[in-house]
Protein backbone atom coordinates (compact mmCIF):
# COMPACT_ATOMS: atom_id res chain seq x y z
CA UNK A 1 0.00 0.00 0.00
CA UNK A 2 2.81 2.41 0.91
CA UNK A 3 4.54 1.76 -2.41
CA UNK A 4 1.33 2.68 -4.24
CA UNK A 5 1.07 5.93 -2.28
CA UNK A 6 4.72 6.74 -2.98
CA UNK A 7 4.10 6.11 -6.68
CA UNK A 8 1.10 8.44 -6.70
CA UNK A 9 3.09 11.14 -4.92
CA UNK A 10 5.95 10.86 -7.41
CA UNK A 11 3.60 10.93 -10.41
CA UNK A 12 1.78 13.92 -8.96
CA UNK A 13 5.14 15.63 -8.46
CA UNK A 14 6.09 15.02 -12.08
CA UNK A 15 2.76 16.37 -13.34
CA UNK A 16 3.03 19.54 -11.26
CA UNK A 17 6.69 19.80 -12.26
CA UNK A 18 5.64 19.85 -15.91
CA UNK A 19 3.33 22.76 -15.11
CA UNK A 20 6.18 24.52 -13.31
CA UNK A 21 8.12 24.59 -16.58
CA UNK A 22 5.25 26.63 -18.02
CA UNK A 23 5.34 28.91 -14.98
CA UNK A 24 9.12 29.43 -15.22
CA UNK A 25 8.94 30.25 -18.92
CA UNK A 26 5.82 32.42 -18.97
CA UNK A 27 5.87 34.51 -15.81
CA UNK A 28 8.98 36.56 -16.75
CA UNK A 29 7.34 37.19 -20.15
CA UNK A 30 4.13 38.28 -18.39
CA UNK A 31 2.15 35.56 -20.16
CA UNK A 32 -0.79 33.70 -18.63
CA UNK A 33 0.14 30.37 -17.07
CA UNK A 34 -3.40 29.00 -17.35
CA UNK A 35 -4.53 30.23 -20.76
CA UNK A 36 -3.28 29.21 -24.16
CA UNK A 37 -1.55 26.05 -25.27
CA UNK A 38 1.94 24.66 -24.83
CA UNK A 39 4.31 25.27 -27.72
CA UNK A 40 7.91 24.73 -28.72
CA UNK A 41 9.84 27.93 -27.90
CA UNK A 42 12.00 27.38 -31.02
CA UNK A 43 9.45 26.68 -33.78
CA UNK A 44 6.26 27.74 -31.95
CA UNK A 45 4.57 24.51 -33.00
CA UNK A 46 1.66 23.55 -30.77
CA UNK A 47 2.56 20.55 -28.62
CA UNK A 48 0.32 17.51 -28.21
CA UNK A 49 -0.12 15.22 -25.24
CA UNK A 50 2.60 12.96 -26.67
CA UNK A 51 5.08 15.82 -26.33
CA UNK A 52 4.07 16.71 -22.79
CA UNK A 53 4.31 13.51 -20.76
CA UNK A 54 6.64 14.49 -17.90
CA UNK A 55 10.17 13.09 -18.24
CA UNK A 56 9.14 10.28 -20.59
CA UNK A 57 8.50 12.58 -23.57
CA UNK A 58 12.00 13.98 -23.18
CA UNK A 59 13.46 10.47 -23.11
CA UNK A 60 11.39 9.09 -26.00
CA UNK A 61 12.04 12.16 -28.15
CA UNK A 62 15.76 11.92 -27.38
CA UNK A 63 15.76 15.44 -26.03
CA UNK A 64 14.62 16.99 -29.32
CA UNK A 65 11.48 18.72 -30.54
CA UNK A 66 9.36 16.30 -32.57
CA UNK A 67 8.76 18.99 -35.20
CA UNK A 68 11.85 21.16 -35.64
CA UNK A 69 14.37 18.68 -34.14
CA UNK A 70 15.94 21.42 -32.03
CA UNK A 71 17.34 20.31 -28.71
CA UNK A 72 15.01 20.56 -25.72
CA UNK A 73 16.69 22.08 -22.70
CA UNK A 74 17.63 19.55 -20.04
CA UNK A 75 16.05 21.96 -17.59
CA UNK A 76 12.57 20.65 -18.41
CA UNK A 77 13.08 17.10 -17.11
CA UNK A 78 15.30 18.49 -14.33
CA UNK A 79 12.50 20.70 -12.98
CA UNK A 80 10.03 17.83 -13.19
CA UNK A 81 12.38 15.44 -11.42
CA UNK A 82 13.31 17.92 -8.69
CA UNK A 83 9.66 18.64 -7.97
CA UNK A 84 8.81 14.92 -7.81
CA UNK A 85 11.80 14.26 -5.55
CA UNK A 86 10.86 17.03 -3.11
CA UNK A 87 7.24 15.83 -3.04
CA UNK A 88 8.37 12.33 -2.15
CA UNK A 89 10.77 13.56 0.56
CA UNK A 90 8.08 15.81 2.04
CA UNK A 91 5.59 12.96 2.11
CA UNK A 92 8.14 10.67 3.76
CA UNK A 93 8.83 13.34 6.39
CA UNK A 94 5.27 14.46 7.17
CA UNK A 95 3.00 11.67 5.97
CA UNK A 96 -0.63 12.38 5.12
CA UNK A 97 -1.11 15.77 6.79
CA UNK A 98 -1.87 19.43 6.21
CA UNK A 99 1.86 20.14 6.46
CA UNK A 100 2.49 17.83 3.51
CA UNK A 101 -0.03 19.60 1.28
CA UNK A 102 1.27 23.04 2.24
CA UNK A 103 4.91 22.06 1.79
CA UNK A 104 4.07 20.61 -1.63
CA UNK A 105 2.89 24.08 -2.66
CA UNK A 106 5.86 25.79 -1.03
CA UNK A 107 8.41 23.46 -2.62
CA UNK A 108 6.92 24.06 -6.08
CA UNK A 109 7.11 27.81 -5.49
CA UNK A 110 10.74 27.52 -4.39
CA UNK A 111 11.68 25.43 -7.43
CA UNK A 112 9.97 27.89 -9.78
CA UNK A 113 11.42 31.06 -8.30
CA UNK A 114 14.90 29.52 -8.25
CA UNK A 115 15.02 29.02 -12.00
CA UNK A 116 13.41 32.39 -12.69
CA UNK A 117 16.01 34.04 -10.46
CA UNK A 118 18.80 32.19 -12.30
CA UNK A 119 17.45 33.39 -15.65
CA UNK A 120 16.25 36.91 -14.91
CA UNK A 121 17.77 37.83 -11.52
CA UNK A 122 14.28 38.49 -10.13
CA UNK A 123 11.93 36.78 -7.69
CA UNK A 124 8.33 37.65 -8.67
CA UNK A 125 6.24 38.79 -5.71
CA UNK A 126 3.52 36.24 -6.41
CA UNK A 127 5.71 33.48 -5.00
CA UNK A 128 6.26 35.27 -1.70
CA UNK A 129 2.53 35.93 -1.52
CA UNK A 130 1.70 32.24 -2.04
CA UNK A 131 4.28 31.16 0.55
CA UNK A 132 2.93 33.78 2.96
CA UNK A 133 -0.60 32.43 2.52
CA UNK A 134 0.72 28.92 3.15
CA UNK A 135 2.35 30.17 6.35
CA UNK A 136 -0.96 31.65 7.55
CA UNK A 137 -2.75 28.37 6.83
CA UNK A 138 -0.18 26.47 8.90
CA UNK A 139 -0.49 29.07 11.65
CA UNK A 140 -4.21 28.29 11.82
CA UNK A 141 -4.24 24.53 11.30
CA UNK A 142 -0.89 23.32 12.65
CA UNK A 143 0.69 23.62 16.09
CA UNK A 144 4.12 22.27 15.13
CA UNK A 145 5.55 25.79 15.36
CA UNK A 146 4.25 28.35 17.83
CA UNK A 147 2.83 31.67 16.60
CA UNK A 148 5.59 33.54 18.47
CA UNK A 149 8.30 31.48 16.76
CA UNK A 150 6.72 32.29 13.41
CA UNK A 151 6.55 36.03 14.12
CA UNK A 152 10.17 36.08 15.27
CA UNK A 153 11.08 34.11 12.15
CA UNK A 154 9.37 36.76 10.03
CA UNK A 155 11.76 39.46 11.23
CA UNK A 156 14.94 37.84 12.55
CA UNK A 157 16.66 37.55 9.15
CA UNK A 158 14.61 39.85 6.94
CA UNK A 159 15.19 43.01 9.01
CA UNK A 160 19.03 42.83 9.06
CA UNK A 161 19.03 41.84 5.39
CA UNK A 162 16.67 44.72 4.57
CA UNK A 163 19.28 47.09 5.97
CA UNK A 164 21.89 45.41 3.78
CA UNK A 165 19.55 45.69 0.78
CA UNK A 166 19.19 49.43 1.33
CA UNK A 167 22.91 49.73 0.61
CA UNK A 168 22.70 47.54 -2.47
CA UNK A 169 24.14 44.40 -0.91
CA UNK A 170 21.08 42.21 -1.49
CA UNK A 171 17.97 42.14 -3.63
CA UNK A 172 14.58 43.04 -2.20
CA UNK A 173 13.18 39.74 -3.47
CA UNK A 174 15.66 37.84 -1.29
CA UNK A 175 14.62 39.86 1.76
CA UNK A 176 10.93 39.18 1.12
CA UNK A 177 11.67 35.49 0.62
CA UNK A 178 13.50 35.26 3.94
CA UNK A 179 10.59 37.05 5.62
CA UNK A 180 7.79 34.79 4.39
CA UNK A 181 9.87 31.64 4.80
CA UNK A 182 10.73 32.71 8.34
CA UNK A 183 7.02 33.09 9.05
CA UNK A 184 6.48 29.65 7.52
CA UNK A 185 9.14 27.65 9.38
CA UNK A 186 9.94 29.73 12.47
CA UNK A 187 13.07 31.46 13.72
CA UNK A 188 15.19 28.38 14.42
CA UNK A 189 14.82 26.89 10.97
CA UNK A 190 15.13 30.22 9.14
CA UNK A 191 18.41 30.86 10.99
CA UNK A 192 19.57 27.43 9.86
CA UNK A 193 18.41 28.26 6.33
CA UNK A 194 20.39 31.49 6.35
CA UNK A 195 23.51 29.61 7.47
CA UNK A 196 23.12 26.84 4.88
CA UNK A 197 22.36 29.24 2.03
CA UNK A 198 25.33 31.46 2.90
CA UNK A 199 27.74 28.52 3.07
CA UNK A 200 26.55 26.99 -0.20
CA UNK A 201 26.57 30.37 -1.97
CA UNK A 202 30.10 31.05 -0.71
CA UNK A 203 31.34 27.67 -1.94
CA UNK A 204 29.76 28.17 -5.37
CA UNK A 205 31.11 31.74 -5.54
CA UNK A 206 34.66 30.58 -4.78
CA UNK A 207 34.32 27.82 -7.39
CA UNK A 208 33.14 30.30 -10.02
CA UNK A 209 36.01 32.68 -9.30
CA UNK A 210 38.75 30.05 -9.19
CA UNK A 211 37.61 27.54 -11.81
CA UNK A 212 35.37 29.59 -14.08
CA UNK A 213 37.39 32.82 -13.66
CA UNK A 214 34.23 34.77 -12.92
CA UNK A 215 34.50 38.46 -12.09
CA UNK A 216 34.31 39.21 -8.36
CA UNK A 217 31.65 41.79 -9.15
CA UNK A 218 29.48 39.30 -11.05
CA UNK A 219 25.92 39.21 -9.74
CA UNK A 220 25.03 35.80 -8.34
CA UNK A 221 21.31 35.13 -7.76
CA UNK A 222 20.80 34.24 -4.10
CA UNK A 223 17.22 33.00 -4.45
CA UNK A 224 18.14 29.41 -5.41
CA UNK A 225 20.39 29.09 -2.34
CA UNK A 226 17.65 30.37 -0.05
CA UNK A 227 15.16 27.99 -1.66
CA UNK A 228 17.47 24.99 -1.30
CA UNK A 229 18.28 25.86 2.31
CA UNK A 230 14.61 26.30 3.25
CA UNK A 231 13.74 22.94 1.70
CA UNK A 232 16.62 21.26 3.56
CA UNK A 233 15.39 22.90 6.78
CA UNK A 234 11.81 21.76 6.17
CA UNK A 235 12.95 18.19 5.57
CA UNK A 236 15.88 17.76 7.92
CA UNK A 237 16.16 20.97 9.97
CA UNK A 238 15.09 19.62 13.34
CA UNK A 239 17.44 16.64 12.99
CA UNK A 240 20.33 18.92 12.02
CA UNK A 241 19.72 21.23 14.99
CA UNK A 242 19.34 18.34 17.44
CA UNK A 243 22.52 16.68 16.15
CA UNK A 244 24.42 19.96 16.52
CA UNK A 245 23.12 20.54 20.05
CA UNK A 246 23.97 16.97 21.06
CA UNK A 247 27.57 17.56 20.02
CA UNK A 248 27.80 20.72 22.11
CA UNK A 249 26.03 19.49 25.26
CA UNK A 250 26.98 15.82 25.35
Q: Please compute the mean of the pLDDT values over residues 44-58 and round it to a whole number.
A: 78
Q: Is the pLDDT of residue 190 over 90?
A: yes
CATH code of the domain occupying 97-250: 1.20.120
Q: Is the pLDDT of residue 154 over 90?
A: yes
Q: What is the pLDDT of residue 111?
A: 98
- DSSP-based three-state secondary structure for 125: helix
Q: How many CA atoms lie within 13 A of 164 on its CB side?
A: 12
From the CB of residue 39, how many other CB atoms can be counted at a distance below 10 Å? 13
Name which of 40, 60, 38 is nearest 49 in CA terms: 38
From the CB of residue 80, how many other CB atoms can be counted at a distance below 10 Å? 25
CA pair distance 244, 140, nearest whole angstrom = 30
pLDDT tens, 20-45? 999 999 999 888 887 777 777 778 77
Q: Is the pLDDT of residue 217 over 70?
A: no
Q: Is 97 left (phi over 0), alpha (psi -120 to 50) or beta?
A: beta
Q: Please compute the mean of the pLDDT values over residues 121-127 and round it to a whole number.
A: 95
Among the listed ranges 59-63, 152-156, 233-237, which one has the minimum average pLDDT value?
A: 59-63
Question: Are 132 and 125 spatial neighbours (Cβ–Cβ below 8 Å)?
Answer: no
Q: What is the pLDDT of residue 36?
A: 72
Q: Is the pLDDT of residue 100 over 90?
A: yes
Q: Please compute the mean of the pLDDT values over residues 159-178 and round it to a whole number.
A: 88
Q: What is the pLDDT of residue 250?
A: 67
Q: What is the pLDDT of residue 214?
A: 65
Q: What is the pLDDT of residue 62?
A: 76
pLDDT tens, 191-200? 999 999 999 9
Q: Please compute the mean of the pLDDT values over residues 105-112 and round it to a whole number.
A: 98
Mean pLDDT over the full length of the chain: 90
CATH 1.20.120: which residues of the chain? Answer: 97-250
Fill in the DSSP letter of residue 124. Answer: -
74/90: higher pLDDT: 90
Q: What is the pLDDT of residue 168?
A: 73
Q: What is the pLDDT of residue 216?
A: 61
Q: Please compute the mean of the pLDDT values over residues 55-62 and round it to a whole number.
A: 80
126/36: higher pLDDT: 126
CA pair distance 131, 136, nearest whole angstrom = 9
- DSSP-based three-state secondary structure for 142: coil
Please give the share of the chain, as a percent, with pLDDT higher than 90. Answer: 66
CA pair distance 111, 17, nearest whole angstrom = 9
Amino acid sequence: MEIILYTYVILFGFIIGSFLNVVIYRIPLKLSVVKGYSFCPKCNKRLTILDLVPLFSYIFLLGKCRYCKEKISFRYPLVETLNALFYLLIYLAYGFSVETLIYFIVSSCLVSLSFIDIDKKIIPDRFQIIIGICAIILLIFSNNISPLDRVIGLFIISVPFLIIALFGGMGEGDVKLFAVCGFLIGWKLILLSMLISSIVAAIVGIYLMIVKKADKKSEIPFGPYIALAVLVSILFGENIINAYLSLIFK
